[in-house]
Amino acid sequence: MVAGLEVRGVEVRYGAAVAVEDVSLVVEPGTVVGLLGPSGSGKSTLLRAIAGLEPLTAGSILWEGDDLAGVKVFKRNFGLVFQDAQLFPTMTVGRNIAYGLGKLPRPAQQTRVTEMLELVGLPGFQDRRVTELSGGQAQRVALARSLAPTPRALLLDEPLSALDTGLRRRLAEDLARILRESRTTAVYVTHDQQEAYTVADRVAVLTEGHLLQLADPETLRHAPATREVAAFLGARAFVTEAVARSLGWDGSLATGEILAVLPGSLVLADDGVEVEVLDQGYTVDDVEIGVRLPDGQRAVVSSSDRVDASSVRVRLTGGAPIPA
């Protein structure tokens, strides 16, 4: 028996269109699996299928080895958190959090609400009106409400995507801490790579309904399994061994492999190879300089400042060997 949540050969169709095809994965107890992929890749559909909100056209969802087919959404005992907090506007924060605690006596409910507000970093908020919360606070309350009845797993669908970037990063770190501290088994949908790496122990990369790779962030960052995964994770150029070596790379490739030039693989180096600057643009953290590699492909090198020259010197210090 597989412990925790198992997705086995799942397919979901909308009419003739296949949204999720033959996806299998396991979420071990107390761990978080991120579902990462571009828009339309089937992330939400898969999450909704796990929740019981979307019927499967093939495969099964199991909990501790038991098939959940026929088990209604609320009987699955999974907590759900969506992009929009979906709090009850007429209830206080405390009543929202206590909503799923119906069977507990009042004092025990109060204790649980206090505990949950501490956990999500909003101590003392129980009597606030939810209409007076900021977007980030509302999402924390939504998380507290989902965790209060101790669901056996938590399913989160882009819970931070309605927030601005700075807040999103901070909340992602908080969320990662909260999920770990509460040893929650969770599935976390996002299209944001950084958020997936922050929150999830393992990340499933999906495109067009297919699971391309399931691995920990370290492996995905350094060893994407295919060209498609590498491209989704930011590789812009794929070079032969000869081109890689001409850029100062000191590794070697097996027959049939190419090297994916990943973000950070190419660095500025005074004693490096001269390449033409094609373009420059600011990111949140630095300047991205687009350069032309010896084989004509465009690659990107990070710099702390814009450069004032038509060429820069670079060295290829890393990259991921993948099947050509």
Ligand X SMILES: Nc1ncnc2c1ncn2[C@@H]1O[C@H](COP(=O)(O)OP(=O)(O)OP(=O)(O)O)[C@@H](O)[C@H]1O
Residues at the interface with ligand X (CB under 6 A) = 14, 17, 19, 37, 39-45, 191
In the complex with ligand X, which residue's Cβ is closer, 47 or 178? 47
Q: How far apart are CB 133 and ligand X at their closest, in Å? A: 24
Q: What are phi and psi of 64, to 5 degrees?
A: 50, 40
In the complex with ligand X, which residue's Cβ is closer, 42 or 319? 42
CA–CA separation, 246 and 272 (whole Å) = 10
Contact at 8 Å (CB) between 237 and 320?
no
In the complex with ligand X, which residue's Cβ is closer, 83 or 303? 83
Q: How many CB atoms lie within 10 A of CB 149?
A: 17
Q: Nearest-CA neighbor of 213 among 74, 99, 323, 125?
A: 323
In the complex with ligand X, which residue's Cβ is closer, 6 or 157? 157
In the complex with ligand X, which residue's Cβ is closer, 43 or 76? 43
Question: Which residues 6+ apart lie within 8 Å of 5 measured at CB?
Answer: 26, 27, 50, 61, 62, 63, 153, 185, 187
Count Cβ atoms within 10 A of the Cβ of residue 304 and give its class: 0-12 exposed, 13-18 middle, 19 or more buried. Answer: exposed
Q: How far apart are CB 186 and ligand X at their closest, in Å? A: 17
Q: What are phi and psi of 248, to 5 degrees?
A: 95, 5
185's tokens: 């088994």
Q: How far apart are CB 283 and ligand X at their closest, in Å? A: 22
Q: How far apart are CB 173 and ligand X at their closest, in Å? A: 22
In the complex with ligand X, which residue's Cβ is closer, 43 or 168? 43
Q: How far apart are CB 32 and ligand X at their closest, in Å? A: 18
Q: How far apart are CB 172 and ligand X at their closest, in Å? A: 16
